[in-house]
Structure 1
């Protein structure tokens, strides 16, 4: 059976291409659909169906554009109510793609319309399951997203539905089925996903905490909700775009590819409420950047951080990009629904500097210099890594303010003395520094190389101590 996983690492997202005898199906496509069309063309195949496992929260699906360009039919599982024409399948309904069959298995819990697709090959053998966000490798989908759309769907109620779906619909299936999930490690749609992107169902029954055979529903709900963090703020907006529809990707690209001279760029920034988003490497941003611009580098976890920190998908954005990567940046923004790019700085930051425009810099020191200063500055060190990273090990006496909560803790940063900011490797600390500077807080110093470099010095560190070991 031909099943190709198309994995996009920056979003930890997996789409699927299935082809048989001149017909193809795409499951959970990304926003830009031309690669799927070209893939089908290479097999001389016509895309017949676009299957959606659910209304996605972490990205905007390409189903509408793909339908417009290929004539393929969109298929959702039971209870889905999109605002456009689509097939709303029944539980156990079978669709044919060439000599293959795709069976609908309604598996509510992550969301109410969540659906798993059972893949059956040309010989009638069950080959695998495309599970969406119902079942990941090492984890299951978070049950708190649909409540942002329907308030009567509490996370406890959804977790109970998910328990039933897993026990009654997924676990009775054959152990040798291949599990094809929608996400891998790094996605915010779960909390403990593996770096592996496929596995057998039998192995998952052995190692996935959520599939323990002796687990009660109450135990499942408690474990699933334990440690679950608030989802990124842009998630509900992406859900609504996937339900209601959106502007075509081609139109977004056309209107966003607007090169601006330094003077025109400055005028646009002053005349609109646009955020200036600088996506160059952090080392370039440190050396020089447009005042009050926000740094989120294209070569890091770009789109999820944009969604988590800018949040409003309708926010106007002006871009400072590495030369030649403008299309890539606009594309990656559109994947998470940020379609309101109004232009980019033509020639990148060099043209701004060459034109004699005002610019700012960021003070950054090495880990060795940080270690030399530590005895005098140990009370003004801020760690912006995730909770788990900080708990595992951190600089002694450092304060913890996770990057995704930074905007809620601005008052905690000192105004009357310099302070130091670090993350794990230097990417997130520069994001944090840029946000602080944009809010008028300039007395900060970045630690280059982050905790990875700090660990190589003699700075005292605090290791995590499990509460159960405390006397």
Structure 2
């Protein structure tokens, strides 16, 4: 049986495609559906089903557009209540795709409708499981997302459901089955998933902490909930879009693909509440940018930081990109539900500069320059995650993770110089652009971040757990 994994690294997302005897099915597609249609056309196959493992939080699925363009039927697992026409399958129900079969295994826990799809080949041999966010390689789905949509679904309740789903539905399956999860390392839907994106179920039973055979329910819940970070703020909004429905991506793109001259761009920015979003690399942004724009580069965890730093999913956006990157930026915004791009700067920042428009800059220093000037009185603000900061840090640095910067502005002085850094320079430039937008001037960020600082003679410390006094 051939299962094609279609992996999108910037979202750490895996969709799946199967085809047999002229019929095809797609599992958990992304918002832009043409690649799936092209894949089926290559096989001269008709997409019969779009299987959804659950209502996704970290991206807007392409199931509705795929149904509209191909006539495929959308399938959810038991208890799902979509706001549009779809099949809500029963536990154990079997769907035929050519000579293949897809069996529904209801596995609540990540969400209540979460479902695993058991793939059965043309010889009636069980081949693998498409697990969605129920089971990852090295991890399982976090159980604390649904309560942001349905308050009664506490993380403890869902963790308990997941414990029994894994033990009653997944672990009894054969060891040679291939596990096909929805995400790999880098996704916020788990806490410690592997860089590997497939594995055998037997190996996961041996190595995945959540599948230990001797684990009690109480131990499982405790281990699962320990170390969970706050989920990105846009997650509940994406869930609701996936439940209720959304505007066709074609319509979203038609409105977004409006080229604006520097004059038109400036007039539109002044006449609307649009946010100017510059998606260039940090090093180029630092040298010159449109005043009050913020920088979230495409060459990084773009979608995640868009969702973290732009709180209003309905925010109007004006784009500044490199040449020929406009469409990519628009699609990647829409993947996470930001459907209100109203235009882009034609010719990019070079056109703005050539038109003699106002330009701002932000200061950067090399790690060596930072080392040369560092003293114990230097205020260093580290915008990495707490776990990164705890692992190793500059002595006396202050940790303000990027996703919490707006709630910690009172700790960032306007009357005293300071230095920002992250791990590699991407997040610190996001922070720099936000602080510049808010009127901060007397600061710089470290090019190359802590990765470069660690190679210098700046005093650093490893985190040491405090000794418990008995």
TM-score by length of 2: 0.99
Q: Does 1:21 align with 2:11?
A: no
1:59-112 alpha-carbon deviations (Å, 9 max, x no partner): 000000000110000000000000100000000000000000000000001000
- What SS does the aligned partner of 1:138 have? coil
Q: CA RMSD in A?
A: 1.1
- What SS does the aligned partner of 2:375 have? helix
Residue in 1 that maps onto 2:401: 402
Structure 1 residues 467 and 211, CA, compared in 2 at 3 Å: closer, same or farther?
farther
Count of residue correspondences: 470
1:105 and 1:115 in contact (8 A); partners too: yes
Shift of 1:278: 0.3
Q: Does 1:182 align with 2:182?
A: yes
1:184 and 1:193 in contact (8 A); partners too: yes
Q: Does 1:389 align with 2:388?
A: yes
Task: Spell out the pairing of 1:221-260 with structure 2 (5 A cutoff).
Answer: 221-260=221-260
Q: Does 1:321 align with 2:324?
A: no
Q: What is the alpha-carbon distance in structure 2 between the residues aligned to residue 310 and residue 354 of structure 1?
A: 29
Q: What is the alpha-carbon distance in structure 1 between the residues aligned to residue 171 and residue 467 of structure 2?
A: 33
1:165-202 alpha-carbon deviations (Å, 9 max, x no partner): 01111111111110000000000000001000000111
Residue in 2 that maps onto 1:423: 422
Task: Spell out the pairing of 1:256-275 with structure 2 (5 A cutoff).
Answer: 256-275=256-275
Structure 1 residues 163 and 376, CA, compared in 2 at 3 Å: closer, same or farther?
closer
Q: Which moved more, 1:434-443 or 1:115-124?
A: 434-443
Q: What is the alpha-carbon distance in structure 1 between the residues aligned to residue 34 and residue 465 of structure 2?
A: 50
Q: What is the alpha-carbon distance in structure 2 between the residues aligned to residue 468 and residue 417 of structure 1?
A: 35
Task: Spell out the pairing of 1:16-415 with structure 2 (5 A cutoff).
Answer: 16-375=16-375, 377-378=377-378, 380-415=379-414
Q: What is the alpha-carbon distance in structure 2 between the residues aligned to residue 138 and residue 467 of structure 1?
A: 29
Residue in 2 that maps onto 1:449: 448
Q: What is the alpha-carbon distance in structure 1 between the residues aligned to residue 414 and residue 276 of structure 2?
A: 24
Shift of 1:148: 1.1
Q: What is the alpha-carbon distance in structure 2 between the residues aligned to residue 419 and residue 70 of structure 1?
A: 55
1:243-302 alpha-carbon deviations (Å, 9 max, x no partner): 111110111111100111111111111111111100011111000001111100011111
1:377 and 1:419 in contact (8 A); partners too: no
- What SS does the aligned partner of 1:375 have? coil
Q: What 5-or-longer segments of structure 1 have no aligned partner? A: none
Q: What is the alpha-carbon distance in structure 2 between the residues aligned to residue 168 and residue 376 of structure 1?
A: 57
- What SS does the aligned partner of 1:230 have? coil
Q: What 5-or-longer segments of structure 2 have no aligned partner? A: none
Q: What is the alpha-carbon distance in structure 1 between the residues aligned to residue 104 and residue 148 of structure 2?
A: 26
